[in-house]
Amino acid sequence: MTLLSRLQAELAPDQLITDRQRLRTYECDGLSHYRVVPALVVLPRTAAQVAAVVRACAEERVPFVARGSGTGLSGGALPHADGVLIVTSQLRDILEVRPADERAVVQPGVINLQVTQAATPHGYYYAPDPSSQQICSIGGNVAENSGGAHCLKYGFTTNHVTGLQVVTPDGDLVRLGGATPDTPGYDLLGAFVGSEGTLGVATEVTVKLTRLPETVRTLLAAFTGTDQAGAATSAIIAAGVVPAAIEMMDALSIEAAESAVSCGYPAGAGAVLIVELDGPAAEVAAQFDEVSRLCAENGAFETRVAADDTERQLIWRGRKSAFAAVGRISPDYIVQDGVIPRTALPTVLRRINEVAAEHGVRVANVFHAGDGNLHPLVLFDDDVPGEAERAETVSGAILDLCIEHGGSITGEHGVGVDKARYMPRMFTDDDLDTMQLVRCAFDPDGIANPGKVFPTPRLCGERPGHHRGAHPLQEAGVAEVF
């Protein structure tokens, strides 16, 4: 019995895609310069169906890749040419909203924003809000440990997921964590969140709901340059204020946003900060005065305060449209995602501009300043010979700058297929080998999203160290390295 005939027995005809043209719909995620057409796409409707598909894959030693809404930006859901793509978009029910327990239980295909919409009538919301929250799925958020503008105060997906039902790479349905915190035993939930689909497929997610704040206030401060805006950011944090968000845009990204959505940011700004404060009204009022004062002391030449929700949306519109807007001022661009300690912001931003100038490309900076999560947009024109390569060089050099300053090669987009080669710059062989111990405990055959996260896919049991050429077992014809 082939894998396909096994799956035909488990799933309805409309849950299996084999037609080459239709398979191409799934050839990439949000990082479209990697494209692989999967061998097969399945659209399960229940956790049991996911388990059946994975069990069949395990028995046939066929790789599988899970995919939610496909908004990932590191190629984490890039299909495997010889594998099954498990699309979770049909698993889209909000199973429970329990405000009294501050929990909701949802299926992985549920859209991030829908959780907040379901909780809001009860006075709660789901705090992690990636910029793609209108379309990204909770299952994808779990896989990537997605962040967003409000991580600074509220943390990441991993801080807001208390329980998971997962299908392990051998096809078992297992619960990790639960509705309550501090489940005894190893925190496999903590290891699973952010494992980018390499430890299995989440089929049910229990999330924390957060009380809606009494007050939200948003201000926009305009500076002559990023040095001043960076200094203001540091001053706010040093003063003991933890805003809900501190976002920065530099001159080039402001220019892009203006040309796209006419957000009307102050003329002549070399950098803007968007600072959002939330919480009890009296606290927010006191902090707001403090933040305004610190921005002014650090060179803000204009400060605007959103008087109502409409004005607040306007302030955010420029920020949220910046990525797409850059497409208007450059034919092509690379979105980089690195992290630095926030005190290194002025130095690193200067270095980024120097490196960009050396290689003759432009870099627009729009990012989460509060937690040092940079999103440099490296602009280039693919039609100009050599420019794409130069942009790629600058993009890599930015990651090296992040590592050099004690940061990380990814703050929220994940490693995926895109950054696997950078992992050895941040981690030693022993560090990576230790991650493989976990991988091998879950997935000894390496069939769950192979080729992602780790630079050199290894078979379990292999000793750590530098390796050249084919894996010995592969050479001996004993096994395939995916």
Partner 1 sequence: MSALDDLAVKAGDDDVVAGVPARLVAAPATTEEAAALIAASRDLAVVIRGGGTKIHQGPPPRELDLIIDTRRLAGVVEHAAGDLITVVRAGTPMAELHGLPGQQLALDAPATATAGGTVAANASGPRRLRYGTARDLLIGITVVRPDGRITKSGGKVVKNVAGYDLGKLYTGSQGTLGLITECVFRLHPVPLFTLFVRAIAPPTHAANVLTAQSAASALEINAAPGAEPELAVLVEGTETGVRDRATALARLLNGEVTDTPPPWWDTPPWPATGDALALKLTGTLSGVPSLVSTAVEAGLTVRGSAGTGVLYAGAPVDPAATAHVVEVLRAVATVVGGHAVVLTAPPSVRGMIDMWGPVPGLDLMRRVKDRFDPDHRFAPGRFVGGI
Nearer to partner 1, 150 or 359 (CB): 150
Nearer to partner 1, 299 or 411 (CB): 411
**How many Cβ atoms sit within 10 Å of the Cβ of residue 465?**
8
Q: Within the chain, what is the greatest distance between any pair of CA atoms?
A: 73
Cα–Cα distance for residue pair 75/37, rounded to 1 Å: 13
Closest contact distance (angstroms) between CB of 108 and partner 1 is 18
CB neighbour burial string for 322-355, b if at least 16 within 10 angstroms, e if fewer = bbebbeebbebbbbbbbbbebebbbebbebbbeb
Closest contact distance (angstroms) between CB of 144 and partner 1 is 7
Nearer to partner 1, 38 or 346 (CB): 346
Nearer to partner 1, 38 or 299 (CB): 299
276 φ/ψ angles, rounded to the nearest 5 degrees: -120, 130
Closest contact distance (angstroms) between CB of 76 and partner 1 is 10
Closest contact distance (angstroms) between CB of 434 and partner 1 is 4
Nearest to 64 by CA among 98, 39, 33, 89: 39
Backbone CA torsion sign across 18, 452, 142, 280: negative
> What crossing angle do the helices spanning 3-10 and 47-60 adopt, rounded to 10°?
170
Nearer to partner 1, 281 or 384 (CB): 281
Closest contact distance (angstroms) between CB of 398 and partner 1 is 14
Residue 75 CA from chain centroid, whole number: 11
Nearer to partner 1, 281 or 470 (CB): 281
Closest contact distance (angstroms) between CB of 189 and partner 1 is 8
Closest contact distance (angstroms) between CB of 118 and partner 1 is 17
H runs (alpha helix) in 61-177:
112-119, 138-144, 151-154, 157-160
Residue 243 CA from chain centroid, whole number: 21
Q: Residue 50 is encoded by which pair of tokens?
A: 């996911």
Nearer to partner 1, 9 or 281 (CB): 281
